[in-house]
Chain A
Amino acid sequence: MSDIPTAHRRVTAVLDEVDTVIVGKRGATEVVLAGILAGGHVLMEDYPGLGKTLAARTFAQALGLDFTRAQFTPDLLPSDLTGSFVYDQGRGVFEFRRGPVFTGLLLADEINRTPPKTQAALLEAMQEHQVTVEGQTFPLPQPFHVLATANPVEYEGTYPLPEAQLDRFLVRVAFGYPGADDEWEVLGRRMARRREEQQARQVVDAAELLELQATMEDVTVSPEVGRYCVGLARATREHEHTLMGASPRGSLALLLVGRAYAVVRGRDYVTPDDIKAVAPAVLEHRVVIRPELWMSEVSSRTVVAELLRTVRTPRTALASGPSAAR
């Protein structure tokens, strides 16, 4: 198992490599990688053309994982994902033909375009790291991560992910539009490359990624910081605008992603700043807003932002004045 400084160096190398393809999105890619290091799955929800699919493929290349892409369409069947038994006439037996879910990194592209039946087929794979077909259970390779993309604007013909499935995603990340300089950098790189395809260099392999994930267990989380995670998650449940807040899985996710984010930042301890940095990505998709507020500007984003401004952070108690502080 690698130590924290080594892990930080390797993680930074992965991010630097991803940066050679994804321009100007270091903050978002740090959170995506923190989600993967924490052993979770990532939902990337943003407008078309902002590099979601490219980011997933680039992470797979840099992390040295087997990569498969499943385009989620309305007619996609669960067996198209998990695989199915096919009759082998030569041998006279049914043999299991594995689906795209048997991989290191699965890109579930436009996951909200497939019906709930197929979405649910992914649930067992994401949560249990196994699939069950006709009573037989097949374990998935380790590591296994799902990077799903969803388009937040085109709702016609889509099937919004139910809360139970959204909860399975450790983080939800939006890349957002690049700045003018970054956008020009994208164009400039394309012209310099003289071809459409982009290829990231492999930095680690699957075994090393597992080691990095194991290293997260060595990160210190003080009780005050842990209670801050709990306080934030509980506050989402008690907020007047929420119908449903984050479950204890949400507070656990906050802690796990906070640990990984600390390693990304080169520390072996988690600070309240780490928790605040990852809280939007961890909590926003776990909050359900009251239906009567659909016409207002209230959203899960505004609720989490408000909580980050109101929930008390752990601090060192101040004395009454500078002389007393001594």
Chain B
Amino acid sequence: MPSTTAVTSTLGRQPAIAAIGVLSLLAVVWAAAVPRPEYVIPSLRPGLEVDQEVAPEGFGGFTPDVVVERDPTPGAQTSDVVAGVLGWGAFALFGLFAAVCLWCLARAVLAARRDRFVPPTDAVTDLDLDALAVAVTTGSSARIDALSAGTPAEGVVAAWVHLEATLRDAGVALSPSRTATEVTLDALRRFEVDPGTLVTLADLYREARWSRHPLTEEDRARAEEAYRALEADVRGSRQQVGPPSRG
């Protein structure tokens, strides 16, 4: 199941940008819709009745030759119609922009849902450690038998494969994208196992599996010793915790 943090982090940026866009558009439309006084230079419009509201005196005694006036003539009514058309045009434009923004928002949400970060599902979690411990310890003798068969390299690989199969049967998910040592060591580190034992086993398996040079009987003996230590550590680790309580 995807983690909430991952999903919200994926969803976070796009809706925020879309919301800011919508708010910006609203602000622009609001600013355009606010009625503004007309500024007319009287010298260019002779015969108009001048309102009393004169522009304030400027700095240094300079008075700008600009006054605010209301124009009752038919020409003014025409300009009102034009203003109305422009207003409706701006409203329609706003509607269009809002639709585009909503479309972007919906697209962003859908994309985020599609592209949401998929957390690793291959981590070893929720294991029944008691069952795992039982499986590891009871399968020990069979593992040693597998180790003894064939060449040292074949024995080391066979014993490791046996260990992996034991873990899988005990409920450890063997994701195909994780390496054999990743899965196995991740599961066994849950017990109080000597890290050196795990390193020895993993190194011997890697060498037997991926190198071209042969392993020796000494390597086989080291592997056997490490497997016995693993069994003892797992058994001891579970005994320290104690059996699961009943009822």
> Do these two chains interact?
yes
Could you tell me the distance between the alpha carbons of A318 and B176 in the complex, rounded to whole angstroms? 11
Which listed residue (B115, B142, B210) contacts A270, Cβ 8 A? B210
**A321 touches B (CB below 8 Å):** yes
Further 5 A-B residue pairs, CB within 8 A, beyond A220-B210, A272-B179, A325-B146: A276-B179, A296-B111, A309-B120, A318-B168, A325-B161
Interface size grouping (class) on chain A: 35 or more
**A312 touches B (CB below 8 Å):** yes
A247-295 with Cβ < 8 A to chain B: 267-273, 276, 293, 295
Q: Which residue of the partner chain A has the closest CB to B138?
A: A322
Q: Which residue of the partner chain B has the closest CB to A298?
A: B115
List residues of chain A with CB within 8 A of the CB of B112: 296
Known contacts A269-B210, A271-B206: A322-B139 contact under CB 8 Å: yes
Stretch at the interface among B6-14, B91-99, B219-227: B6-14
Query: Is the Cβ of A269 less than 8 Å from the Cβ of B212?
Result: yes
Which listed residue (A298, A316, A323) contacts B161, Cβ 8 A? A316
Could you tell me the distance between the alpha carbons of A271 and B13 in the complex, rounded to whole angstroms? 40
List residues of chain A with CB within 8 A of the CB of B177: 308-313
Query: Is the Cβ of B165 less than 8 Å from the Cβ of A319?
Result: yes
List residues of chain B with CB within 8 A of the CB of A319: 161, 165
Q: Which residues of B contact A (CB under 8 A)?
A: 9-10, 12-14, 17, 108, 111-112, 115, 117-118, 120, 122, 135, 139, 142, 145-146, 149, 157-158, 160-162, 164-166, 168-169, 174-182, 206-207, 209-213
Query: Is the Cβ of A318 less than 8 Å from the Cβ of B164?
Result: yes
Interface string of A201-228 (1 = CB under 8 A from B): 0000000000000000000101001000
Query: Is the Cβ of A313 less than 8 Å from the Cβ of B211?
Result: no
List residues of chain A with CB within 8 A of the CB of B157: 316
List residues of chain A with CB within 8 A of the CB of B160: 316
Which listed residue (A271, A295, A325) contacts B210, Cβ 8 A? A271
Query: Is the Cβ of A302 less than 8 Å from the Cβ of B117?
Result: yes
Known contacts A297-B9, A297-B117: A315-B176 contact under CB 8 Å: yes
Query: Is the Cβ of B211 less than 8 Å from the Cβ of A296?
Result: no
**A194 touches B (CB below 8 Å):** no
The B interface is mostly helix, strand or loop, or mixed, namely: helix
Q: How many A-B residue pairs have CB under 8 A?
A: 103
Query: Is the Cβ of A326 less than 8 Å from the Cβ of B17?
Result: no
Known contacts A315-B176, A316-B209: A325-B162 contact under CB 8 Å: yes
Which listed residue (A267, A310, A313, A326) contacts B145, Cβ 8 A? A326
Query: Is the Cβ of A273 less than 8 Å from the Cβ of B179?
Result: yes
Q: Which residue of the partner chain A has the closest CB to B14?
A: A295
Closest 7 CB pairs of A and B: A269-B211, A325-B162, A325-B165, A312-B176, A272-B179, A326-B146, A269-B210
Could you tell me the distance between the alpha carbons of A313 and B122 in the complex, rounded to whole angstroms? 13
**A306 touches B (CB below 8 Å):** yes
Query: Is the Cβ of A309 less than 8 Å from the Cβ of B122?
Result: yes
Could you tell me the distance between the alpha carbons of A60 and B182 in the complex, rounded to whole angstroms? 35
Could you tell me the distance between the alpha carbons of A80 and B160 in the complex, rounded to whole angstroms? 58
**A192 touches B (CB below 8 Å):** no
Could you tell me the distance between the alpha carbons of A310 and B142 in the complex, rounded to whole angstroms? 32
Query: Is the Cβ of B176 less than 8 Å from the Cβ of A313?
Result: yes
Q: Which residue of the partner chain A has the closest CB to B209?
A: A316
**A191 touches B (CB below 8 Å):** no
What are 11 A-B contacts defined by CB distance under 8 Å? A270-B210, A271-B206, A271-B210, A295-B13, A308-B177, A309-B118, A316-B164, A320-B165, A321-B169, A325-B161, A326-B158
List residues of chain A with CB within 8 A of the CB of B117: 297, 302
Could you tell me the distance between the alpha carbons of A276 and B169 in the complex, rounded to whole angstroms? 26
Could you tell me the distance between the alpha carbons of A224 and B175 in the complex, rounded to whole angstroms? 17
Q: Which residue of the partner chain B has the closest CB to A268?
A: B211
Query: Is the Cβ of B207 less than 8 Å from the Cβ of A269?
Result: yes
List residues of chain A with CB within 8 A of the CB of B213: 268
List residues of chain A with CB within 8 A of the CB of B211: 220, 267-269
Query: Is the Cβ of A318 less than 8 Å from the Cβ of B179?
Result: no
**A57 touches B (CB below 8 Å):** no
Q: Least Cβ distance of A279 to chain B in Å? A: 12
Query: Is the Cβ of B174 less than 8 Å from the Cβ of A318?
Result: yes
**A241 touches B (CB below 8 Å):** yes
Could you tell me the distance between the alpha carbons of A309 and B168 in the complex, rounded to whole angstroms? 19
Q: Which residue of the partner chain A has the closest CB to B121?
A: A309
Q: Least Cβ distance of B177 to chain A in Å? A: 5
List residues of chain B with CB within 8 A of the CB of A270: 210
Which listed residue (A293, A308, A323) contacts B115, Cβ 8 A? A293
Could you tell me the distance between the alpha carbons of A220 and B178 in the complex, rounded to whole angstroms? 21
Could you tell me the distance between the alpha carbons of A267 and B176 in the complex, rounded to whole angstroms? 24
**A164 touches B (CB below 8 Å):** no
Query: Is the Cβ of A220 less than 8 Å from the Cβ of B115?
Result: no
Query: Is the Cβ of A313 less than 8 Å from the Cβ of B210?
Result: no
**A153 touches B (CB below 8 Å):** no
| Among A268, A296, A316, residue most surrounded by chain B Cβ atoms (within 10 Å) | A296
Could you tell me the distance between the alpha carbons of A1 and B17 in the complex, rounded to whole angstroms? 60
Query: Is the Cβ of A273 less than 8 Å from the Cβ of B182?
Result: yes
Could you tell me the distance between the alpha carbons of A37 and B157 in the complex, rounded to whole angstroms? 31
List residues of chain A with CB within 8 A of the CB of B118: 306, 309
